[in-house]
Amino acid sequence: MKYYNSIIETIGDTPLVKLSHVTKGIPGTILVKLEYFNPGNSMKDRMALKMIEDAEKEGLLKPGGTIIEGTSGNTGMGLALAAIAKGYKCIFTLADKQSQEKIDILKAVGAEVYVCPTNVSSDDPRSYYSVAKKLNQDIPNSFYPNQYDNLSNKLAHYESTGPEIWRDTDGKITHYAAGVGTGGSMCGVSQYLKEHNPEVVTVGIDTYGSVFKKYKETGQFDQNEIYPYLTEGIGEDILPKNVEFDLIDHFVKVTDKDGAIMTRRLAREEGMFVGWSCGSAVHGALEYAKEHLTDDDVMVIIMPDHGTRYLGKVYNDNWMKDHGFLEGRNFATARQIVS
């Protein structure tokens, strides 16, 4: 018999798939690592499990404990799955810009959810960072993983995602691209790849409204770079400890619109029903590839999550129209038969 003892044993070993259509005219081999094959449908399953197991080892998380985290949804899902397998409770805080699907998914796996305002600074007591910290102080036997500064996040990708990419490309990878949020998936993989081949070039995808690119290029934390944007999961108004700027060679910024349009193209033209930050990562990585890749190069782009979490947003024509994002052939058709 071949079976797993628990859902968390199915985390990892996700497939690499070549992009064939959205890459027309772009040199090199462009591969995407489809992290929605994880049981929680995102790459965050990897780091969620690692943060919990490391906390158990350090005695920070004890039997019957409560896990409290600020999350854009995917980390919450990963934590919830690991918590179910291991017998912990979960409370999550989210910013209200996150899709309703993400909130409903967390409730479906038994978590308690606090929805907090998006447009307040991170140190405002109403922000999802502050609410998570306060709950952690108030609730006995609770553990706050803090995915931004908890280096188990980066380590999870150093120990699993990086080695899988190296193995599956036979060490031929020349470029790695990833959206940067907490920085775990970019920097953990980058560290592993660069240790095996220092020539590997890494490209971080950032959003307009986020501090990363400017900070990398000038060393300045520029408040003017910070303003609200719509893309979920990437870009930040803080500098998380998991972002190690030396491990990110270049940053490319992508608009909400370009990311959204590429997300829909990946579904229609490649059959990959992926999340919004996947479209951003591919759009940004291809902009870089157009200028810098040769036909011998092999680029891997990480695709963090699944399209179901964005049915009410990038995959919804009315939402796209309302935001001025829908153009020509991106219209979907649904015909209503009236009885």
Provide the binding-site residues for ligand PMP, judged by CB under 6 A.
Answer: 72, 74, 179-186, 232-234, 275, 277, 304-305
Other beta carbons less than 10 A from residue 5's beta carbon: 7
> Of 145 and 179, which has the nearer Cβ to ligand PMP?
179
Q: Whose CB is nearest to ligand PMP?
A: 233
Residue 140 makes CB contacts below 8 A (sequence gap 6+) with none
Least distance to ligand PMP from the beta carbon of 184, Å? 4
> Of 65 and 279, which has the nearer Cβ to ligand PMP?
279
d(CA 231, CA 246): 25
**Among 18, 33, 44, 290, which one carries the catalytic annotation?**
44
> Of 130 and 231, which has the nearer Cβ to ligand PMP?
231
> Of 83 and 303, which has the nearer Cβ to ligand PMP?
303
Least distance to ligand PMP from the beta carbon of 115, Å? 16
Note if 44 is an active site residue: yes
Q: Which residue has the tokens 């019957």?
A: 64
d(CA 331, CA 316): 10
Least distance to ligand PMP from the beta carbon of 181, Å? 3
> Of 27 and 229, which has the nearer Cβ to ligand PMP?
229
Least distance to ligand PMP from the beta carbon of 96, Å? 16
Least distance to ligand PMP from the beta carbon of 188, Å? 8
Please identify every residue annotated as catalytic: 44
